[in-house]
Structure 1
Amino acid sequence: MSEQVQSRIISADIVVIGGGTAGIAFVASLLKREPNLSITVIEPRDKHYYQPAWTLVGAGIHDLRSTMRPMASVMPRQALWLQTAVSHVDPENHLLTLDDGRSVGYQYLIVCPGLRLAWEKIEGLQETLGQHGVTSNYSYKHAGYTWQLVKSLSGGKAIFTQPGMPIKCAGAPQKALYLSCDHWRRHGTLKHLDVEFNLAGAALFGVADFVPALMKYIEKYRAQLVFNSQLVKIDGPSQTAWFAVKDAAGAVMLQAKKFDFLHVVPPQVALDFIRESSLANADGWCEVHPYSLQHVRYPNVFGLGDVCSTDNAKTAAAVRKQVVVVAENVLALRKQQPFPRQYDGYGACPLTVQKGKVILAEFGYAGKLLPTFPLEPTVARRLGWYLKASFLPWFYWNGMLKGREWLARTSKVE
């Protein structure tokens, strides 16, 4: 092998794909346990975002600029950061191919690149997003536009959408609806608006225990629910959206709807280099054991965060618990010891049903309720609002990304 070829191959111990919430929190937690570990992080972006606050930005409650920091400021100093992307994964040979032509060989691989927002799956969306009343809180660039539209709208048709699962933060589409409607109600304009929530699925929320409480707010805001309705096309200049609507018999028809305000949540998929690799399951997600988060076919590979095949809610709260499991299980594997921790599917969705009140939905696999506090979990409370609007953003930057694991302990393997 020539010296030039050898120089393009990097040998690494622990490699982390992704510098988002899961990647940075994992590296920080692992280094808290063993500061001398050799860790390589592969992340192409130069910015890091606190995405859960974009819902609040869209309601005029949070400063957009505070949700972004330079990647260099959150990357643990002990880690080697390769600022490029992965183009191919070869788990049989423990090898990654990077966009810049280099290859990285690894002993242990942590897969946490997040997912991809597939804006292109809705015809016309990319051309009109950010104008003609079309917006999305799922975009850093457009969350502020949501607030501009909300505060200026005084009448007409307001449509909110939710695509098929899985998506990150499955409660975010309706959070946008609740906070917008609450603003319109407080300013006396809600009575002049026709509000509609189009969901690709057949239920308002995936955990049935929370549906009755949420329905009270749907009724309070006079919002019409349209189930089995998937947004497929937008014409911005004419302010028309087309939905594929499935009836009780399973037949699908295309329905056009005029709008003055349209909040879009895009379909979401795994990144191509995961989908096209042997790490993926049939749906393209990194296929891991639901409790250990170890890959089902490659023992030296673990998954974290939104890329995982597990059926937990794809939220930062889920990552907070998963990080502990993977950190301790990876260290155990290195020492050829049994796994000490298991993940119970925990996820949390602070449902901002109005300004100042949140239903703190915390649940695990099979919809099991897992409340942190000894309070009735389906009741909207100011405590939840304080957590969502104040404490959690602070803790994200100052705690979670620095390896502090408050309230993040998980079950021990018995």
Structure 2
Amino acid sequence: MLSLARTRLSTTSYARTFATQANKNFKVVVIGGGPGGLSVSSTVSKLLGKDQVAVIEPSSVHYYQPLWTYVGGGLKDFSESSKPMGSLMPKDAEWIQDKVTKLDPDNNQVQLSNGETIGYDYLVVAAGIQINWDQVKGLKEALGKDGVTSNYSPDSVQKTFPFIQDFKGGNAVFTFPNTPLKCPGAPTKITFLAEEAFRLQGVRDKTNVIYNTSLGKIFGVDHYGKVLQKLADERGIKVNFQTELLEIDSDKKEATFRNNATKETHKQPYDFLHVAPPQGPPTFIKESKLADAVGWVDVSKDTLRHNKYSNVFALGDCSSLPTSKTAAAITGESGVLKHNLIADLQSKKVDQAVYDGYTSCPLIVGRKQLILAEFSGYTGQPLETFPVDQRQITNVGQFLNKEVIPSIYWSALLDGSWTGPSTVRNALKFLRPANLS
């Protein structure tokens, strides 16, 4: 995998100045400067050249959010998870540093928060997911204080490990919301890392580690979930299923949960509380004609092309693709999308590339322990890269996820050259034992 990574040449980008360049049209407009948006815009802008591709992204900082589990677990410094957005923008793409407020696919336009409109021939929506902190009463007020934290916030993730270090015993509670969310393994990962830290700090015998998940199982894919549940049982982690966080009373240090099977509510005192917040489609997508009934961009799960507007594509967390919302999924999605979009741009009649639902959720279960889960979100079947049983806990997997994959992300995914491990998987396929095929 290392051989596929390339070193990024330093580039400079600039934000569009609307006073002189308002209402301009582009061949391709990409909404979002996350991994999906940058991967697509990097490749397409190299193909089309200057003044043809625009990236609409309001943020000045790009975060590699998979690293935040390690930050919250005290294994990485927060500074390693971010780079200036301008340093990552493709040199041939134009950066429009603003928010999209409205999508108008009937007229091939998007509207920005300053009232300007941008026209496109093709639109790629890679806008990520919206975190809805307000859906849990009292969460915003409690976050980052008195042991309440979340690895889903750039501010509070920096407080997670100090809160773990300061923990002296009592109830350590972890939650999983009753919504889709990015990196659905993340709430479980920090539970295992915190439990290990409590053991190392000598307070485990005075601690109740409680994982309240709205799901009916600890992990959606049984191939790995059974191993994870067995490990939770062995380490004394109490897992409560179909249990949703409703409210936090920070004055009383008490959280209210509901069992969604029985509809009964109960109050849970806490001394440490890690919250995975409710999440959903961005409002501007949900209110548009591009949305499906739930609010995600309604695309074909095979081609990533919109089911109604053929010049619109989407990938990543904002899409309707029925697979896990992870950066790993975006690698495979980006390759499929770019193949199909470029064929359109070049007016070539080629077979459409088809996405197989590949995603990965490296399940961190200790400082040096990881289960490298790789599977199709469409079928639930393993799509493992290496010729071993990846349900096994390894420190090699931890090194790969902690040190190697971030390098691939920064140097190869964002510049469009990395589209997932399928080539590596195929090359190693002949080494895979028949009982693992």
Q: Map Cα deviations across residues 306-359 of structure 1 (whole Å, 9 max, x no partner).
A: 001111110000011111111111011221423441110011000001111110
1:279 to 285, 290, 294: 290
Q: Map Cα deviations across residues 359-396 of structure 1 (whole Å, 9 max, x no partner).
A: 01111112021001111021111121011110111221
Give the aligned partner of residue 386 of structure 1. Answer: 399
Q: Does 1:104 align with 2:85?
A: no
CA distance in 1, matches of 2:231, 2:160: 20
Give the aligned partner of residue 254 of structure 1. Answer: 265
Give the aligned partner of residue 296 of structure 1. Answer: 307
Q: Map Cα deviations across residues 102-160 of structure 1 (whole Å, 9 max, x no partner).
A: 10111000001101111010000001100021000111111121101111212100000
Q: Map Cα deviations across residues 233-259 of structure 1 (whole Å, 9 max, x no partner).
A: 001121000011133xxx312211100
CA distance in 2, matches of 1:340, 1:37: 27
Give the aligned partner of residue 58 of structure 1. Answer: 72
Moved more, 334-343 or 160-169: 334-343
Query: Shift in Å at residue 95 of structure 1?
Result: 1.0
Query: Shift in Å at residue 33 of structure 1?
Result: 5.1
Residue identity opposite 2:249 in structure 1: D
Give the aligned partner of residue 353 of structure 1. Answer: 365
Give the aligned partner of residue 186 of structure 1. Answer: 200
Query: Shift in Å at residue 52 of structure 1?
Result: 0.3
TM-score of the two chains, using structure 1 as the length reference = 0.94
CA distance in 2, matches of 1:30, 1:383: 35
CA distance in 1, matches of 2:229, 2:158: 27
Q: Map Cα deviations across residues 195-227 of structure 1 (whole Å, 9 max, x no partner).
A: 110001111111011122102220232011111
2:143 to 120, 129, 136: 129
- What aligned pairs does 1:146-185 form with structure 2 within 5 A after superposition? 146-185=160-199
In structure 2, list runs of 5 or more residues that go unmatched. Answer: 1-17, 426-437
Q: Secondary structure of the residue that 1:56 maps to in structure 2?
A: helix
Give the aligned partner of residue 29 of structure 2. Answer: 15
Contact map agreement 1:29 1:324 (CA 8 A) in 2 = no
Q: Secondary structure of the residue that 1:12 maps to in structure 2?
A: strand
CA distance in 2, matches of 1:313, 1:373: 20
Contact map agreement 2:26 2:51 (CA 8 A) in 1 = no
Q: Secondary structure of the residue that 1:137 maps to in structure 2?
A: coil
Q: Secondary structure of the residue that 2:384 maps to in structure 1?
A: coil
1:311 to 301, 322, 333: 322
Give the aligned partner of residue 324 of structure 1. Answer: 335
CA distance in 1, matches of 2:313, 2:99: 18
TM-score of the two chains, using structure 2 as the length reference = 0.89
Give the aligned partner of residue 372 of structure 1. Answer: 385
Q: Secondary structure of the residue that 1:342 maps to in structure 2?
A: coil
CA distance in 1, matches of 2:249, 2:37: 38
Give the aligned partner of residue 86 of structure 1. Answer: 100
CA distance in 2, matches of 1:307, 1:160: 25
Give the aligned partner of residue 15 of structure 2. Answer: none
In structure 1, list runs of 5 or more residues that go unmatched. Answer: none
Query: Shift in Å at residue 186 of structure 1?
Result: 2.5
1:244 to 258, 265, 274: 258
Give the aligned partner of residue 265 of structure 1. Answer: 276
Q: Map Cα deviations across residues 87-111 of structure 1 (whole Å, 9 max, x no partner).
A: 1101111111111111011100000
CA distance in 1, matches of 2:155, 2:250: 18
Query: Shift in Å at residue 189 of structure 1?
Result: 1.7
Residues 354/130 of structure 1: CA separation in 2 closer, same or farther (3 Å cut):
same
CA distance in 2, matches of 1:189, 1:29: 51
Contact map agreement 1:48 1:70 (CA 8 A) in 2 = yes
**Identity among equivalent pairs (%):** 37
Q: Secondary structure of the residue that 1:273 maps to in structure 2?
A: helix
Contact map agreement 1:10 1:102 (CA 8 A) in 2 = no
Give the aligned partner of residue 38 of structure 1. Answer: 52
Moved more, 138-147 or 7-16: 7-16
Residues 409/33 of structure 1: CA separation in 2 closer, same or farther (3 Å cut):
farther
Q: Map Cα deviations across residues 20-49 of structure 1 (whole Å, 9 max, x no partner).
A: 111112212334555568211111111110
Contact map agreement 1:318 1:348 (CA 8 A) in 2 = yes
Q: Secondary structure of the residue that 1:87 maps to in structure 2?
A: strand
CA distance in 1, matches of 2:397, 2:351: 34
Residues 409/361 of structure 1: CA separation in 2 closer, same or farther (3 Å cut):
closer
Q: Does 1:396 align with 2:391?
A: no
CA distance in 1, matches of 2:48, 2:336: 15
Residue identity opposite 2:266 in structure 1: Q
1:114 to 121, 125, 128: 128
Q: Map Cα deviations across residues 54-79 of structure 1 (whole Å, 9 max, x no partner).
A: 00001110010111111101111110
CA distance in 2, matches of 1:236, 1:6: 50
Moved more, 374-383 or 33-42: 33-42
Query: Shift in Å at residue 5 of structure 1?
Result: 12
